Amino acid sequence: MTLSFTLFDTAIGRCAIAWRGRCVVRLQLPEDNDAKTRARVLQRHPAAREAAPPRQIAQVLNAVATLLRGTPSDLSFIMIDMEGLPIFHRHVYQAARAIPFGAAVTYGELARQAGVPGAARAVGQALARNPFAIIVPCHRVLAAGGKIGGFSANGGAATKLRLLAIEGYKIGPAKSLEKWLRENHAPSLFDSPASADV
């Protein structure tokens, strides 16, 4: 199946998305200019061809752009292609997708939620290789003690802070996700049947 990509406008600049069929293969945050963003996609996916997005992918672009304007947007409908990714990364990405808009957790907590307590460093390494920026919201994962932690996208920690600010998150000690869900009267997303289907 053909691997395609396109660039699209957001409040933080022109992002890129690569897809195969109805599944997102990569969501690339903006580089310094379009040429660099395009080159980053082609570096990872040299066979990708630039194309107009089909309807399902256009819906993804709209949802991501909405979220990047600071409006909560449910991205759980987006299908991501994790074929070829290590099983550990798949578990981490699935757990990270459950972190709600405006919330943040620590690497240690995400490790526990992914079923690998004590693997905070490995979780950080998996998130550094996250090919689905925003869809897998690695910007919502902080170091212990409210420290920002790393971020591998262009701009590093400053970009991470900007994404958190867009969502209205105030930097400080990250709350337990379970505590955040209780305070906001939300069901635990980690207990849903979908989270076990990794």
The answer to whether 5 and 127 are in contact (CB under 8 A) is no
Which residue reads 């990270």 in tokens? 96
Eight-state DSSP code of residue 166: H
* Whole-number pLDDT of residue 183: 59
* Whole-number pLDDT of residue 110: 95
β-pair partners for 8: 15
Comparison of pLDDT for 181 and 193, the residue scoring more: 181
Return the percentage of the chain with pLDDT > 70, whole number.
Answer: 86
The mean pLDDT of 85-98, rounded to a whole number, is 96
pLDDT tens string 17-54: 999 999 999 999 999 999 999 999 999 999 999 999 99
Eight-state DSSP code of residue 145: G
The answer to whether 184 and 118 are in contact (CB under 8 A) is no
Q: Catalytic residue among 138, 153, 166, 174, which?
A: 138
User: Is the pLDDT score of 112 beyond 90?
Assistant: yes
Q: Is 15 a catalytic residue?
A: no
Give the strand order in the sheet containing 3-10: 23-28, 13-20, 3-10, 49-50
* Whole-number pLDDT of residue 169: 86
Pairing relation of β-strands 13-20 and 3-10? antiparallel
pLDDT tens string 55-78: 999 999 999 999 999 999 999 999
